[in-house]
Structure 1
Amino acid sequence: MAAHDILTIYLDPATLRRAERGEHNFFARLRGAVEGRGWRVIFAENTLANRLAAPGRPGYALWHMEEPTHDRALTCRRRYLGAFWNIEAVAPRWDWPIVAEPFDPDTVPDTAGSFVAGWRRRLWPEGIETRDDGHIFMPLQGRLLDHRSFQSMSPISMIRQTLAHSGRPVIATLHPNEDYSADEIAALETLAAAHSRLTVRRDGSMEALATCSRVVTQNSALALHGYFLRKPAVLFARIDFHHIAGSVPRDGLDAAFAPRPSPAFDRYLYWFLQMRSTNAGRPECEEQILSTLRGHDWPL
């Protein structure tokens, strides 16, 4: 075995334990693919010390949801749901190659409908009743007062602009894993007091999603889940699933909110998930992994 025929996979502690026991499907398939080519696989904890040391270690590296540390390293991330994974050169989803790829529904097989129906049953095993009650659903994320580099404006400004560009009621929900500051809550309360059409909730996201006319968000994954329910979206930040949405960074405010034909939701979801990622539950997973790594000039 040559010194370069080593792959070190850096993981958080919980994922590391699962991978070492062979209980994480994607990393088990990845390990099998690489070891099948004669490489050695090492699982290591993602620590600051390991990040600093990684460029000087022999072989190649794969980071989980972290920026690669050197030119022999890549990153990997689950594509929002299920066994769908991507291996990429950079960590931010909005900088992945798929962002610039055109989506052509005519290239997608007719099996897209059954694919989406199956995933809808997995996501909502007890069923979900959808209707249009006329409101906009706005799943909020974090840092409501900050305008970050991948956003067209801050989340607070997004709320203001949505109220200005639509006469519909807006139901905004807080992210359950975010710790909002007193200033953020005060800003939301001020907006809600000034606009009777704005309601801010701490829960109820699924009900608001199922009954909305459209989703407006920075880049919450709930917009992607909305595609399964045939809910159109307007996105205020860059992200990889922007193709069938109105996008403020891509189109500008007026165009993003302008009426448009109903997208090909089923075909898009099949293209985005099944055709543009690796499905760790499929027989061809190992060969897809090797093909991806070879596409990044790894000598496999």
Structure 2
Amino acid sequence: MTARVVLHLPAYMNARLAAGKPLLYSRIRDSVLARGGAVDLVEGFNGAGYREDGNLHIVENGHHQRVGVLNAATAYFEGFFHVDPVGIQAASRIGALPYDPTTVDGEAAQTYHANLQQRFAVPRLSRYKQPKTLSNLPQGALAVFLQGPAPQRNGQAYCSFETMVEAVCAGAGGRDVLVKPHPLKPELGAEIIAAVRAKGYRLTQTDANVHDILAVCSATVSINSATALEGFLHRKPAVLFGRSDFHAVVETVQDTAAFGAALARVLTNPPDYARALYWYFGQHCLDIQADNFDARLLAIFAEAGFDANRLGLT
């Protein structure tokens, strides 16, 4: 029996698909249909009730390890995606892959890094809407990026946001500390900052464009924010206080008392930013703008056991 591709999306995404958005799923649909395959749209996904049925199921924002199921979501940068049999973002299979920068083509990595800079850093674009006004910020500061409740909810954080900010302030070594609330959770960010200030710590709250902050900071700090990787576009190292799937190219702190030492290490021995980004995004994520998007997508399907023949693709 020829297998079908089943897209499991929230209702609002299904409604937008007719207009060609969201981009990942419209591209998957169009790629499969253009090759003679079949695509079904289903609202949501019942993981507990799932039974293997011979079809390939792709689940938006999924976290399922099931035969015939791939999980999909944005991979930190706009236009990049995980389509993954293990999970998404911090839970993706990339986190279990070995990383050896000496095996990554340095020339290709430099070209790739320059292209990403032109795509995101030069126009000051990030995944969430950012101010267009240029901000005047202190050089060499530590940049702390807050997130929403997801890292704690998903068991990815090694401490609370408040404890993280306190640790950074205590271990800043005289550097200014800039703290940016998440654009979608400004109230939560303001509460965290107020609580830290109430304990006597000195910091500066900022809503500046992410790229303005990254341009002047000495390092980024977060639980596992995309800004850690965006910082690589500006050649700024990262310290995380949570689990991630890019831990191989950052310093990760599980004990807040270890922050100072972790910061010293990453400032003294920063990663090869170009190789790290090329390895992560260029070799292990799907890029909606890449010429080989369809080929990479079909390779992921085949690796999951659904090659062109099984899907009836020409």
The TM-score normalised by the length of structure 2 is 0.79
Unaligned runs of 5+ in 1: none
Letter in 2 for 1:27: Y
Question: Mapping of 1:256-275 within 5 angstroms?
Answer: 256-259=262-265, 260-275=268-283
Question: Which among 62, 67, 72 is matched to residue 63 of structure 2?
Answer: 67
Corresponding residue number in structure 1 for 2:236: 231
Question: Which among 110, 123, 136 is matched to residue 113 of structure 1?
Answer: 110
Does the 8 A contact of 2:121 with 2:211 survive in 1? no
1:38 to partner: Cα distance: 5.2
SS in 2 for 1:292: helix
Q: Structure 1 residues 66, 297: CA separation in 2 closer, same or farther (over 3 Å shift)? A: same
Does the 8 A contact of 2:168 with 2:259 survive in 1? no
**1:197 and 2:168 are equivalent in the alignment:** no
Q: Structure 1 residues 20, 267: CA separation in 2 closer, same or farther (over 3 Å shift)? A: same
SS in 2 for 1:192: helix
20-29 or 166-175: bigger deviation = 20-29
Query: Structure 1 CA distance, aligned partners of 2:262 and 2:302?
Result: 38
Tell me the alpha carbon deviations over residues 257-278 of structure 1, each in whole angstroms, 9 at most, x when there is no partner: 2333232111111111111122
Which of structure 1's runs of 4+ aligned residues deviate more than 6 A? 50-53, 127-132
Corresponding residue number in structure 2 for 1:77: 73
169-178 or 76-85: bigger deviation = 76-85
1:6 to partner: Cα distance: 1.6
1:224 to partner: Cα distance: 1.1
Query: Structure 2 CA distance, aligned partners of 1:279 and 1:249?
Result: 32
Tell me the alpha carbon deviations over residues 200-237 of structure 1, each in whole angstroms, 9 at most, x when there is no partner: 33455443222111111111111111110011110111
Q: Structure 1 residues 253, 28: CA separation in 2 closer, same or farther (over 3 Å shift)? A: same
**1:163 and 2:169 are equivalent in the alignment:** yes
85-94 or 168-177: bigger deviation = 85-94
SS in 2 for 1:87: strand
Query: Structure 2 CA distance, aligned partners of 1:170 and 1:53?
Result: 48
Corresponding residue number in structure 2 for 1:218: 223
Corresponding residue number in structure 2 for 1:5: 3
Letter in 2 for 1:60: L
Letter in 2 for 1:118: N
Question: Which among 282, 287, 295 is matched to residue 287 of structure 1?
Answer: 295
Letter in 1 for 2:233: F
1:238 to partner: Cα distance: 1.0
SS in 2 for 1:258: helix
Does the 8 A contact of 1:20 with 1:43 survive in 2? no
SS in 1 for 2:278: helix
Say how many residue pairs are matched: 294
Does the 8 A contact of 1:145 with 1:156 survive in 2? no
Tell me how large the CA RMSD over aligned residues is.
3.4
Does the 8 A contact of 1:192 with 1:199 survive in 2? no
The TM-score normalised by the length of structure 1 is 0.82
Question: Which among 138, 146, 150 is matched to residue 140 of structure 1?
Answer: 146
Letter in 1 for 2:104: V
Question: Which among 79, 97, 107 is matched to residue 101 of structure 1?
Answer: 97
Corresponding residue number in structure 1 for 2:213: 208
SS in 2 for 1:152: coil
Tell me the alpha carbon deviations over residues 241-270 of structure 1, each in whole angstroms, 9 at most, x when there is no partner: 222211114995455223332321111111
Tell me the alpha carbon deviations over residues 18-52 of structure 1, each in whole angstroms, 9 at most, x when there is no partner: 43344554334423554466541112333x7x667
Aligned-residue sequence identity (percent) comes to 25
Query: Structure 2 CA distance, aligned partners of 1:193 and 1:261?
Result: 34
1:71 to partner: Cα distance: 3.0
Corresponding residue number in structure 1 for 2:158: 152
